[in-house]
Chain A
Amino acid sequence: MNTKTLFYIFKRVLLAIVTIWIVITITFFVMHAVPGGPFLGEKAISAEAQAALEAKYGLDKPLWEQYITYLTDIVTKFNFGPSLKQRGRQVIDIIMDGMKTSAKLGLIAAVSAAVVGIVLGAVAALRRNTVLDKIIMVITTAFVSMPSFIMGSLLLIIFSVKLGWVPANGASEGGLILPIITLGLYPMAYITRLTRSSMLDVLGQDYIRTARAKGVSGGKIIFGHALKNSLIPVITYFGPMLAFIVTGSMVVEQIFAVPGIGRQFVSSITNRDYMMIMGTTIFLASLIVIMNLITDILYKVVDPRIEFD
């Protein structure tokens, strides 16, 4: 790695921090501008009790002061504060708890999707216009266009209720099989299609023809030249996709009762759990920023002609 690359990475990390700071600031003020509050319930508590709770969590202070305190706590102590709704739990613990499951689920789904997708895409490209290609394209089109709540419900009814092969709740042993499939089918289909079109494009390039003319073996052409060069769009897609998929999917977690992080994003907002909203937002924003950075660096690995500047 040369100094230019290092400088580039340094610049990107700085930019990432600024991005996250902007996200924090916007979320913080927008969140407080939305009506409702964390201590509001169907059955009202007394005004005094409400005031006592607000004082306890510092919500009685002016907004800008809360904002400064929040930022300071994160920067100096890496402290994301307590959840306002799940009394007694720390935001960081809740996120880490959910991430254990979501990351496992997401990683397996993403990696399987990439492996299967690239293989199928390559096969489809190499066997262009054959029956095999057509079958792959029809199936992947179906998977790309089918929303996960339908796919999930279908799998649940067939494999859990009718056949009884796998449990219906993510907490049981083997309960993650269906969620992984549901979560992975869309990116798998998408990657298949990306790989196919990109590979077709590469296979038509002059250097492939040159290699063929020079008598390079078929395998070497495919793996050494064609496949490697057709992966750029896949990598572009894979990085952010991985960030989203490992941070959980509300829909899939709901359908299969998976104890992941995805639900927390939504429930924290419904609950006006300010600390959780900030925590989950920062977490997701950081992951996406990091994934984008890794993606950019991977470009260079795949294609040395790409210059950082």
Chain B
Amino acid sequence: MNMKKLMALLLTLAMCLIGLTGIASAETAGSKLAICLASEPDTLDPALNSAVDGATMVSHLFSGLAKWSQDENGNLIIAPDAAEELTEGVVNEDGTVTYTYTLRDGVNWSDGQAVTMHDFEFAWKRAASTELGADYGYMFEQVKGYPDDLAVTAVDDKTLEVTLNNIVAYWDELLAFPTYFPVREDVVSDEAWATDPSTYISNGPYTMTGWEHNSVITLTKNPYYHDADKVTMETLECYLSDDENNMLANFQNGSWQMIDAVPTSEIKLLESEYPTEYFVVGQIGTYYVCWNINEEILPEGCELTGAEAEAARAEIRNAIGLLLDRNYICEEIGQAGQVPASSFVAMGMTDFDGKEFYQNAGHSDEYVGYFNTAADAYESNWAEGVEILKKYYDFDESTQMFTNFPSLTYIYNTDAGHQAIGEYLQGALAGVGITLQLTNQEWATFLNTRKDGDYSIARNGWLADYNDPISFLDMWITNSGNNDIQYGRGAHAELAMYDLDLTPYGYDIKVEDGTWAETYDVLISTIKGCTDTEARYAMMHIAEDMLMSTGCIVPLYYYTDIYMIDDAVQGFFTNPLGYKYFMYTTIAE
């Protein structure tokens, strides 16, 4: 064999090897939808899932007592699903509320067995239990006996009784939450049940027919679903990727019809190139900066102590909040339609009067929230902030800088977006002579540092799990696992400086100069036990007032959710929690 022949052979071999991987095919049939929400979900067990993408898939696979749906005008509603109707609760003598639900006929598991209310009882008790340790176990907090003695009983196969501690305004919405979906005892007794299509028994519009891990999950219409006639999309292929550039490439070449994220750098371009396929929708969440309440920020030599010192710090923190230009952050850094925030409870929460909760927040007639976020108000905000700071720090008029503000450190988890905001904060504060050092930490380390209160200022964000302001407020009680600010802990535990007067709402609670535990914690537990909706909302405003008065929460913007969907896809909708619904979609020719 001569050299040329050998080389030809080798090259052919190399090409054959490459050829082995197959030929491209990117066709999508009319009854099949290819979507990409995120990468491989940690779990698709409805009780264990706590991710938005997981919730979307679980909502297609399971049917709870209620579901998110659209009315004939396209408005979002909570409708009965496995339950015949969403009944009103009966208030008991002790103030608890009992609901009784009837299972509709023809509700089946995907293996053909009938669903019973015993399955619901089992599933709820399992999801709430300490033993399971589910992230969303606390979604059952309102149920009497939470966590390990849940007051839920299947009276018979068709009837379920559940008793809540009090009237819960968003109870019907909870019934549509994935953690409340039923599972069958014999199915979940195998701990690996939710990782393989062969053992994944569900009762919703779809069944799982394929799961190539880290690659694609296939959902196929479930013939046993009680409302199968209305399900129009036969197959959903959920591709698993979290690389936004890859997602966009697949959307652009037509392989995928819906993607749930896009690269931030492409947003401006996509807005103009895909006006009918690029969407920005609201999401109930707030991006904010939080202070460690125990961080000393008063200048050296300051003689204030105790409650006086804390009142000064609160004023200072609020003043620093006024130095920030939220419009700049949203338009130049976020670039995704974010809305400048002037309250902690996010946009999208309904108040008692039907308006949005944030529109009634704060005490100004001129603007919404606790400060004015209008672009033309920035200069006066800034001047006001500087004036307040001048009370406590030396100000050099010639340079327009504070000279004795202690140096601060801002921590954020490693991410280009968070870093850009950190750099903005650094620049804004440097403008008045305040040094802000930036430290980024890898995600798990960051969470740990923040939870331990081992920081002075940190990036933070909160997405609500249901449409009720309490989901933003109860996280700040002293013993909450999410109390990153350290309210009522350490030195702050001793400070008796907060007032609480609930007598106008019929409670015998009036505290003057109380500690955080004596006021805020009491307020939250009162709200949770309150059955008068109007008073309840009024008290939630008081709670937010208290939080905002500490200056420890510096809201920057309300989150938005960006996705792209092929304009041939019709009948798609999304809910404020960011869940996407594809069961009623069709693809136009």
Contacts and interface: CB of A to CB of B under 8 A. Distances in A.
Interface in B330-383: none
B20 interface: yes
B442 interface: yes
Interface stretch (A19-27, A80-88, A206-214): A80-88
Given A44-B480, A49-B137, A270-B442, A85 B42 contact: yes
A88 B196 CA distance: 10
B17 A172 contact: no
Contacts of B45: 87-88
Interface in A34-69: 34-37, 39-50, 52-53, 56
Given A40-B451, A53-B133, A169 B147 contact: no
A172 B134 CA distance: 34
Contact of A255 (B14, B39, B245): B245
Interface residues of B, number: 70
A168 interface: yes
Interface residues of A, number: 73
B340 to A, nearest CB: 23
B246 A89 contact: no
B243 A167 contact: no
B24 A172 contact: yes
B43 to A, nearest CB: 5
A82 B481 CA distance: 26
Contacts of A82: 191
A257 B332 CA distance: 30
Contacts of B243: 254-255, 257
A271 interface: yes
Contact of B11 (A50, A119, A153, A169): A119
A98 B216 CA distance: 13
B256 to A, nearest CB: 8
Nearest to B250: A168
Interface in B10-27: 10-11, 13-14, 17-18, 20-26
Nearest to A49: B133
Given A35-B449, A37-B444, A254-B243, A108 B215 contact: no
Nearest to B131: A52
Given A119-B11, A164-B26, A257-B243, A34 B130 contact: no
B448 A35 contact: yes
A172 B25 contact: yes
A279 interface: no
B399 interface: no
A87 B216 CA distance: 18
Nearest to B252: A161
Given A46-B481, A177-B18, A35 B249 contact: no
A49 B246 contact: no
Interface string B241-254: 10101100110111
Contacts of A112: 14, 17-18
B124 to A, nearest CB: 16
A174 B22 contact: yes
Given A45-B481, A108-B17, A174-B25, A39 B133 contact: yes
Given A36-B448, A46-B137, A161 B50 contact: no
Contacts of B134: 45, 49
Nearest to A112: B14
B448 A119 contact: no
B482 interface: yes
A272 interface: yes
B403 interface: no
A168 B18 contact: no
Contacts of B212: 171, 259
B7 interface: yes
A86 B133 CA distance: 14
Contacts of B11: 115-116, 119
A78 interface: no
A40 B137 contact: no
Contacts of A224: none
A156 interface: yes
A56 B481 CA distance: 21
B194 interface: yes
B481 A176 contact: no
Contacts of A87: 42-43, 45, 48, 191, 194
Contacts of A36: 443-445, 447-448
A43 B138 CA distance: 10
Contacts of A295: none
A74 interface: no
Contacts of A53: 133
A49 B139 CA distance: 14
A167 B25 CA distance: 7
A291 B424 CA distance: 49
B481 to A, nearest CB: 3
A295 B74 CA distance: 66
B192 interface: yes
A39 B135 CA distance: 9
A234 B23 CA distance: 32
B20 A88 contact: no
Looking at A42, A90, A170, A174, the one whose CB has the most chain B CB atoms below 10 A away is A42
Nearest to B441: A35
B253 A161 contact: yes
Can you list the 9 inter-chain pairs with the closest CB atoms, starting with the nearest? A44-B481, A36-B444, A259-B214, A257-B241, A259-B215, A49-B133, A171-B215, A174-B24, A168-B249
6 contacts: A35-B445, A40-B451, A86-B43, A168-B250, A223-B3, A257-B243
Given A36-B443, A39-B133, 10 more contacts: A41-B447, A46-B138, A87-B194, A97-B214, A98-B213, A171-B240, A219-B3, A254-B243, A255-B246, A257-B250
Interface of B: 1-3, 6-7, 10-11, 13-14, 17-18, 20-26, 39-40, 42-43, 45, 48, 50, 130-138, 147, 191-195, 212-216, 239-241, 243, 245-246, 249-250, 252-256, 442-445, 447-449, 451, 461, 480-482
Interface of A: 34-37, 39-50, 52-53, 56, 82, 85-90, 94, 97-98, 101, 108, 111-112, 115-116, 118-119, 123, 153, 156-157, 160-161, 164-177, 180-181, 218-219, 222-223, 254-257, 259-260, 263, 270-272
